Amino acid sequence: AGGGPLLPDSVLYEIFLYLDHVDVLSVGLVCQQWRAVARDEFLWKELFYRYYRVSREVPRHPAAVSWYDEFQRLYDTIPCVEVQALKEHNDQVLHLSFSHSGCLFASCSKDCTVKIWSNELEISLQHSSNMRPYNWSYTQFSQFNSDDSLLLVSGVFVGPHNSSSGEIAVISMENFTLLSRVRNKPYDVFGCWLNETNLISGNLHRIGRITSCSVLWLNNAFQGIESENVNVVKRLFKIQNLNASTIRTVMVADCSRYDSPDLLLDYEEQLAASSTSTCPVFDLGSDSEEEEAKPKQTPEPAVQELPDEGGVTAEDGLQQFFDDIMEGRVRPAMTDTELETKVAELFVRNRTKPPELNLLPTDSNSKTKYLIFTTGCLTYSPHQIGIKRILPHQMTTAGPVLGEERRSDEFFDSLDHVIDIHGHIIGMGLSPDHRYLYVNSRAWPRDCVISDPMQPPPIAEEIDLHVFDLKTMKEVKRALRAHRAYTPNEECFFIFLDVSRDFVASGAEDRHGYIWDRHYNICLAKLQHDNVVNSVAFSPVEQELLLTASDDTTIKVWRSPRTVRIQQAKQPRPRKLLFSWLMNQKS
């Protein structure tokens, strides 16, 4: 005990049988030697890697004291015990969001209500707002502002022959009154808070059959201001869309905590951080741009500006292109779709404001924020993540309504960074420290070619959960898998995920919610529903509490075995796992 060689496989096998079948009450009668062996680090390390099927290249969690504690953490603190089912909604429940204090949470549903719940030991309904009087079809997303005084609610607005139009409502948490409403197009932009009183919405302007322009607006939540000298809205960015793509699913990441994250996902970085007081800048990708372009993405990632062709101006290039068409020098003949895209690319080449240089933050106290959204360049299905830096002076509606002054040739804004997913993006979520972006996607076939933007490639049933480091703008870890989806491209819908300090959870179309460990990259639990699980949400102050929302119209409340055991302490029940007995012996 406490040292020596690893135990033989035969002994480990017997211990596994012992853990699974022996009655806890009889363990204390075995012998005193067993108690010594039971806390042997070599034993628990071996048990951990075998039981959870973790690669031996993965080190122990940096915050773990021992392998025994890690084994216990991954069993005893996962929110996998159903303790309550909320059935107040009468249609599909689409989204869940907690307040930052964890005292409240909101739910959105196809029944066109947004419900506010009180998160106590027994969760109860506090308020319900019906949005049908405002001509909404359903509510789809909600988000509390940073001080929990306001709730942003996004829904689908019923307009004449325009099912894609959306609207954002702001509700006061003091008396549940509706403060303002903002149009939002397309509806799956969702919207988000930039700060305590300003929110971001979208609008879409068609330029051609497959070419459009997305405009992102900054709106004041209090739009009843009487003074004519105070703006309540300001344009943030104006971005060109090609090949039927649009900007959707906006969210804001705060860069201020990038140098002090809750959990570093790179193992070498963890080792370096444990021996130094600060976290150095690190590179999780390849050393060359050629190698960086190889991974499972399309060979040429989307860019928002075309390279300069020998100093030829955009006007000259566009005129030359038209002359080539008229004189038959363009071979093979272009389709109408290809022609429209080529003209749009030539038009925008010198009419786009260049991207910000040095996107990666260097000041740990920086007030810079990133606007993150899904977009694309090849087809209408969202297959890229766009990132645009928001500077401090852009975080208020003060100033010109159309935003900062720009030259007449800077008609569009360029993206500062683009991440190509090579698949249909169906969900995104930020880690609590905003250092890592988690992305649900359904992959396209390898080496597929998109010839028609209105016919995207078929998508896989397996959902890949990618992880990107927003400090280095590189993918980290291997993609997580376990959950599945079955709808085709044209019917694909958003599946919301959530990230806590140690875990990441996601819904799925296979009637389950899933929980993974962020450090070990392993699936820890499947949470049963009777239909599609659309959304999951961890309590921001207690990661051992998780909510799941489903098409079966219910919200399920899940707590960890440890929490349930504490709540049932008046009637203790013996458990059949060794470490529970050990904890009792220790106490």
Which 8-state DSSP code applies to residue 455?
A: S
Question: Residue 108's beta-bridge partner residues?
Answer: 95, 114
Is there a contact between 369 and 393 (Cβ–Cβ < 8 Å)?
no
What residues have CB less than 8 Å from 384, skipping those under 6 apart? 301, 302, 374, 375, 376, 377, 418, 419, 420, 421, 425
Which 8-state DSSP code applies to residue 330?
A: S
Average pLDDT (411-436) is 94
Average pLDDT (570-581) is 55
Give the helix, strand, coil percentages of the chain, each rounded to 5.
20, 35, 45
Q: Give me the pLDDT at residue 431, please.
A: 96
Token pair recorded at residue 237 = 């960015």
Average pLDDT (234-255) is 94
Q: Give me the pLDDT at residue 139, please.
A: 97
- Return d(Cα 49, Cα 44) in angstroms, integer: 9
Q: Give me the pLDDT at residue 307, please.
A: 39
> Each residue of 214-234: pLDDT tens digit?
999 999 998 765 445 567 899
- Is the pLDDT reported for residue 580 higher than 70? no
The HSE-up count of residue 477 (CA atoms within 13 Å, CB side) is: 25
- Return d(Cα 375, Cα 360) in angstroms, integer: 21
Q: Give me the pLDDT at residue 276, please.
A: 45
For the beta sheet containing 464-469, the strands, ordered from the edge strand earlier in sequence to the opposite edge, are 423-430, 436-443, 464-469, 474-480
Is there a contact between 70 and 60 (Cβ–Cβ < 8 Å)?
yes
Instruction: Please state the φ and ψ torsions of residue 214, each to the nearest 5 degrees.
Output: -95, 130
**Could you tell me which residue, 116 or 222, shows the higher pLDDT?**
116
Q: Give me the pLDDT at residue 254, please.
A: 93
What residues have CB less than 8 Å from 334, skipping those under 6 apart? 325, 342
- Is the pLDDT reported for residue 45 higher than 60? yes
Q: Give me the pLDDT at residue 209, please.
A: 87
- Return d(Cα 114, Cα 88) in angstroms, integer: 11
Q: Give me the pLDDT at residue 320, please.
A: 62
- Return d(Cα 330, Cα 31) in angstroms, integer: 87
Q: Which of 48-62, 281-295, 337-351, 408-422 has the lowest mean pLDDT?
A: 281-295
Average pLDDT (226-248) is 84
Residue type, 374: T
Q: Give me the pLDDT at residue 547, please.
A: 98
Average pLDDT (502-528) is 95
Distances (CA, A) of 528 to 92, 509, 514, 555: 16, 11, 9, 12
- Return d(Cα 191, Cα 236) in angstroms, integer: 13
Give the count of beta carbons closer than 10 Å to the beta carbon of residue 358.
Answer: 8
Q: Give me the pLDDT at residue 359, please.
A: 58
- Return d(Cα 257, Cα 434) in angstroms, integer: 7
Q: Give me the pLDDT at residue 179, please.
A: 94
- Is the pLDDT reported for residue 148 higher than 90? yes
Q: Give me the pLDDT at residue 270, please.
A: 65
Which regions of 185-225 does DSSP assign to beta strands (E)? 192-193, 198-206, 212-220
Token pair recorded at residue 309 = 């062709």
**Could you tell me which residue, 384 or 484, shows the higher pLDDT?**
384
Which 8-state DSSP code applies to residue 189?
A: G
Domain 81-260+365-570 CATH (choose: 3.30.360.10, 3.40.50.300, 2.130.10.10, 2.40.50.100):
2.130.10.10
Which 8-state DSSP code applies to residue 187?
A: G
Give the count of beta carbons closer than 10 Å to the beta carbon of residue 213.
Answer: 18
Nearest to 247 by CA among 138, 434, 380: 380
- Is the pLDDT reported for residue 31 higher than 50? no
Distances (CA, A) of 76 to 73, 210, 475, 511: 5, 52, 30, 24
What residues have CB less than 8 Å from 365, skipping those under 6 apart? 256
Mean pLDDT of the chain: 81
Give the count of beta carbons closer than 10 Å to the beta carbon of residue 453.
Answer: 22
Distances (CA, A) of 331 to 269, 325, 327, 334: 52, 9, 11, 8
- Return d(Cα 136, Cα 118) in angstroms, integer: 25
- Return d(Cα 534, Cα 92) in angstroms, integer: 9
Residue 328 CB burial class (10 angstroms; 0-12, 13-18, ≥19): exposed
Is there a contact between 505 and 497 (Cβ–Cβ < 8 Å)?
yes
Nearest to 427 by CA among 183, 186, 251, 166: 251
Domain regions of the chain by residue span: 9-77, 81-260+365-570
- Return d(Cα 93, Cα 532) in angstroms, integer: 10
- Return d(Cα 510, Cα 484) in angstroms, integer: 6
What residues have CB less than 8 Å from 587, skipping those under 6 apart? none
Q: Give me the pLDDT at residue 406, please.
A: 63
> Each residue of 251-291: pLDDT tens digit?
999 988 887 788 887 766 666 655 543 333 222 223 333 33
Confidence grade of residue 113 (pLDDT, cut at 50, 70, 90): very high
What residues have CB less than 8 Å from 139, skipping those under 6 apart? 94, 95, 108, 109, 112, 113, 114, 131, 153, 154, 155
> Each residue of 443-472: pLDDT tens digit?
999 999 998 999 999 999 999 999 999 999
Q: Which of 149-158, 190-199, 225-234, 564-573 has the lowest mean pLDDT?
A: 225-234
Q: Give me the pLDDT at residue 237, please.
A: 94
- Return d(Cα 538, Cα 97) in angstroms, integer: 9
Domain 9-77 CATH (choose: 1.10.260, 1.10.760, 1.20.1280, 3.30.460):
1.20.1280
- In sign, the C-alpha dihedral spanning 262, 263, 266, 268 is positive
- Return d(Cα 240, Cα 355) in angstroms, integer: 14
**Could you tell me which residue, 336 or 65, shows the higher pLDDT?**
65
DSSP string for 254-318: EGGGTTS-S----HHHHHHHHHSSS------S-SSHHHHT-SSS-SS---SSPPP-TT--HHHHH
Is there a contact between 364 and 401 (Cβ–Cβ < 8 Å)?
no
Q: Give me the pLDDT at residue 337, please.
A: 75
Place of tokens 């204390």: 28
